[in-house]
Amino acid sequence: MALTLFDKIWAEHRVKTLDDGRDLIFIDRHLLHEVTSPQAYDGLDRMGRRLYQPALTVATEDHVVSTRPGRYGADFENGQAMLDTARRNGRRYGIAYFDANHPQQGIVHVMASEQGMVAPGMTAVCGDSHTCTLGALGAAAWGIGTSEVEHVLATQTLVQAKPKTMRVGIDGCPPQGITAKDIILRLCRQVTIGGATGHAIEYSGSYVRRLPMDGRFTLCNMSIEMGARIGLIAPDETTLRYLEDTRYSPLHDHREAALRSWADLATDEGAIFDHEMSLNVSALAPQITWGVTPDQVVDVDEPVPPSESEVARRALEYMGLDAGKPLLGVPINIVFVGSCTNGRIEDLRTAAAILRGHRIDRRVRAFAVPGSQAVRAQAEAEGIAKIFRDAGVEWREPGCSMCAGINWEFVPHGERCVSTTNRNFVGRQGPGARTHLASPAVAAASALVGAIADPRRL
């Protein structure tokens, strides 16, 4: 029978099917960060359990850790307590742990991929919904809740209902300056925030095959914003070249076995998906959100759409916008470049190319936060960090930073931010924050102009 890529990975990891129809799935890699792990460890302690396979668990610090230069921990008491607890648990249970100043520290979905901790054909989970990012490597990766984190620590398995499958074919050659962030924002608009609920999305098509890994991570990252728990891309030569340079990749010590096991990781011809859709990106414009959900999206040079529902009216009221008016030229206060969506080296290069030789508008405060220590080191070696500093952008240490709106890194009440993050919900970047999701190119252009701007016009 012809199978999808997701079907193959799921079947390979199914331990058994339970009486209620759900499956017990083996988990190859368990990723932790400091926010969701303490309660899971407490549950193990209460039950007197140990980690079943500690070598398959990796922990880093990203959510509450400060990104100010010279940091070692958090800038608020409760955050530092979380870090201290996570560090103690890491030592006590003997897991690989990457604290704030470790040379491999970073946002969990960034550092795990760039270190080769997740590979094609694997299952990977983390107590964070954007774990779907790692599906760009040809893995089945998804976010789990705290009780499930405890279950994986204790058993290295999870009980899950198998998701349905969706194929999204992306074809065409986009105009210059259009990035994967623009593509996924347009897909969010087309599919809506609930349109892929209960599905694993496979991205395919000529555009995806040409896309470098950093762009593939961006696509898979925002699968959750359409309701899907999993987004994945079949591995190819681009994937293998990426993994060649990673520290923990199976290609180093078990190359032949790894290549054999990955050879069949593609959807079979004739395989049937529960849903299919397509997008041609040949005429796509830069995208930006106008509202408070990731599917409230327009072309950057489009006017704000009419408020045809109560949901839209409330969104416009919160955002301080008028239907029918252009977004271009709306004044902004803050620009944020970073996150697990757009904190990789290609994202920083894109923003720096626009900022080079210029200064941001004096009314704007801008931040560039690399997704990992490795990205930070590369950006500094390439001179990208200097471009940001010379332009008046604050160059920070790796972490989730303003995406999560904690650790005193947030948008003040009523201020407007162009952000390369993945969520624009009410209060996401701070109480009363007004967030416009966009690509690094749109963010950098807006920082220069002091208002929402179209990078094609610079």
pLDDT exceeds cutoff 90 at 393: yes
CATH fold match for the domains 7-161 and 287-457: yes
pLDDT band at 445 (very low <50, low <70, confident <90, very high): very high
Alpha-carbon gap, residue 23 to 416, rounded angstroms = 45
pLDDT reported for residue 435: 98
Superfamily covering domain 287-457: Aconitase, domain 3 (3.30.499.10)
pLDDT reported for residue 79: 94
pLDDT reported for residue 36: 82
Tokens of 39: 């309660």
Tokens of 401: 């930073």
Q: Tell me what the mean pLDDT of segment 229-244 comes to.
A: 97
Query: Tens of pLDDT along 310-336?
Result: 999 999 999 999 999 999 999 999 999
As beta bridge partners, residue 96 has: 58
pLDDT reported for residue 407: 84
pLDDT exceeds cutoff 90 at 408: no
Looking at CATH, the fold of the domain delimited by 7-161 is given as Aconitase; domain 3 (3.30.499)
Q: What is the mean pLDDT of the chain?
A: 96
pLDDT exceeds cutoff 90 at 132: yes
Quote the strand ranges of 49-176, DSSP E: 57-60, 96-98, 123-126, 140-143, 157-160, 164-171
Q: Is the whole model's pTM more than 0.75, yes or no?
A: yes
Q: Which H or E run contains 9?
A: helix 5-13
| The total number of residues written for the chain in this structure | 458
Percent of the chain exceeding pLDDT 70 equals 100
Name the nearest CA neighbour of 93 among 38, 36, 29.
38
**Cβ–Cβ < 8 Å for 398, 430:** no
Q: Domain locations in the chain?
A: 7-161, 287-457
DSSP string for residues in 72-106: -S-SSHHHHHHHHHHHHHHHHHT-EEE-TTSTT-B
Instruction: Name the least confident of 43-52, 163-172, 328-337.
Output: 43-52
